Amino acid sequence: MALMPVNDALERILDGAAPADAPEFLPLAQSFHRVLARDLAALRTHPPFAASAMDGYAVRASEAAAGAVLELQGEAAAGHGFDGTLAQGSAIRIFTGAPVPDGADTIVIQENTERPDDKSVRINLDAEPGRHIRPAGVDFEKGRIGLEAGRILDAGAVTFAAAMNHATLPVYTKPKVAVLATGDELRLPGEELGPGQIIASNTFGVAALARGAGADVIDLGIAEDRMDALDAALDAAIAQGADVLVTIGGASVGDHDLVQKALNARGMDLDFWKIAMRPGKPLMAGRLGALRVIGLPGNPASSLVCAHLFLEPLIARLAGRPDPKRVRKAVLGAELPANDLRQDYLRGDLSEDASGTLTAVPMPRQDSSLMKVFADARCLIIRPPHAPAARPGDPCEVLILRD
């Protein structure tokens, strides 16, 4: 099977990916950072009445020239409006958020007044009609669309939804991503290691990336290199309603690489399993009925690079989120040799100067088994196939890993 270009592989992995049709309805307090699945119209008008924007006095502008002394008629506070109509030659003490009394057409803020006594107020600055009054409906009106489908519910959106009087919100369901590590040599962190055994670290990084992209993660643990163990894991993924199965390691065609064999035996429609990239060449993609399958390489850097490139955008599509926009323009801070037929993703450091220009410098070691190098990297420097030798200052593209 020929090596597939990275962009072609991504296009095929994303083909047909979309959120579930039926939304999930969540209480407002649980909706933060979820994605709105339907347009949200206001259930009320806000403010529902003309309201004072300041503490002061509700008056008629025509009676409130500088030097005028008006009789205090009453008081209006938020939640406790004045019951009646403003009388001629009078003022009503008013507080922020209170309904503007009938007959008043402006608010004189308290800083522009004096109190000769407890029963009157002196105006020190000419009043203007409409000042410091929030008209009814100035924020939003009942029945109007306030938030559109696809909006990530950040703090502002949740506040707005609450103000529109929504107690529950329709959100896209989170895709379920089942993560399975494979290999006789793997043990969990904290377990005793026997001869030739290593810690299954990739699982945790891939699961963290999946959660960050908007998925619920099903941890399938570690499957030994046996067909029955792999079959049991597949049964568990299907039984728990996984939308995506992510396997780590064992997806090649060696004697001990049984993942692809086990999936093929269950009827997987294999799309591809070799990509023209480095690291991450042996990446598998296919379908097992409705279940999408991505087989990541076993080396840590390879699995995480592939997870950023292919799994994160897939989850975003299934979760109704915008496609991640991690690729930025930068310049190189070191020389690089000419590239071969595979697209390189070099782990690199990243700095930004006062003008906002990003400079990327590759790490001195690029072995795909090195986990500290990946943890230290701030970006992946993208080197297209057959790119010529490059010098410091040459333009490049980087995929941002962290700030």
State mean pLDDT over 190-208.
93
Q: In what helix (H) or strand (E) does residue 205 lie, and over which residues does it extend?
A: helix 202-213
Query: Which tokens in the block code for residue 87?
Result: 């009388």
**Predicted local distance difference test score (pLDDT) of residue 334:** 97
Q: What is the largest CA-CA distance in the chain?
A: 98
Question: If you search the block for the tokens 């529109």, which residue do you land on?
Answer: 164
At residue 4 the predicted structure's pLDDT band, cuts being 50, 70 and 90, is very high
Spatial separation of the C-alpha atoms in residues 242 and 240, rounded to whole Å: 6
What's the pLDDT band for 250 if we cut at 50, 70, 90?
Answer: confident
Q: Over 70: is that where the pLDDT of 23 sits?
A: yes
Q: Indicate if the pLDDT at residue 382 is higher than 90.
A: yes
Cβ neighbors of 330 (< 8 A, separation 6 or more) are 350, 357, 358, 359, 360, 379, 381, 395, 396, 397, 398
Within 10 A of 235 (CB to CB), how many other CB atoms are there?
A: 11
| 3-class state of residue 335 by DSSP | coil
Q: Strand pairing of 327-332 and 395-400?
A: antiparallel
* CB 4, CB 284: distance < 8 Å: no
Whether residue 1 is predicted with pLDDT greater than 70 in this model: the reply is: no
- pLDDT bin (cut points 50, 70, 90) of residue 384 is very high
- Band (pLDDT 50/70/90 cuts) for residue 256 is low
Closest by CA to 277, choosing from 42, 4, 94, 88, is: 4
Could you tell me where the DSSP H helices lie in 214-311?
227-239, 259-265, 300-306
- Report the pLDDT value the prediction gives residue 251, as an integer from 0 to 100: 63
Q: Which long-range contacts (CB under 8 A, 24 or more apart) does 209-212 make?
A: 209/304, 209/307, 209/308, 209/311, 209/312, 210/177, 210/179, 210/246, 210/307, 210/311, 210/312, 210/315
Distances (CA, A) of 209 to 135, 146, 306, 307, 378: 47, 31, 11, 8, 15
Cα 348 to Cα 336: distance, rounded to the nearest angstrom: 12
What's the whole-number average pLDDT of the chain? 95
In this predicted model, what pLDDT tens digit does every residue of 306-332 receive, in sequence order?
999 999 999 999 999 999 989 999 999
Instruction: Tell me what percent of the residues of the chain surpass a pLDDT of 90.
Output: 94
**Band of pLDDT at residue 255, cut at 50, 70 and 90:** low
Residues of the chain with pLDDT > 70, as a percent, come to 98
Residue 371 has pLDDT above 80, yes or no: yes
| Contact between 324 and 313 (Cβ < 8 Å) | yes
Q: What is the pLDDT of residue 257?
A: 72
Which pTM value belongs to this model?
A: 0.87
CA–CA separation, 260 and 228 (whole Å)? 14
For residues 148-176, average pLDDT: 98
Reply yes or no on whether the pLDDT at 273 is more than 90: no
Cα–Cα distance between 148 and 158 in angstroms, integer?
13
Query: Distance between CA 268 and CA 289 in Å, rounded?
Result: 7
Whether the pLDDT of residue 252 is over 80: the answer is no
| pLDDT at site 76 | 97
Mean pLDDT, range 352-378, rounded to an integer: 95
Q: Distance between CA atoms of 178 and 237, rounded to whole angstroms?
A: 6
Set out the domains of the chain in order of their start, with CATH numbers: 6-20+174-319 (3.40.980.10), 24-46+139-171 (3.90.105.10), 51-134 (2.170.190.11), 327-400 (2.40.340.10)
| Concatenated DSSP letters of 4-21 | BPHHHHHHHHHTT----S
pLDDT at 37: 97
Give 375's pLDDT tier (boundaries 50, 70, 90).
Answer: very high
pLDDT value at 220 more than 70: yes
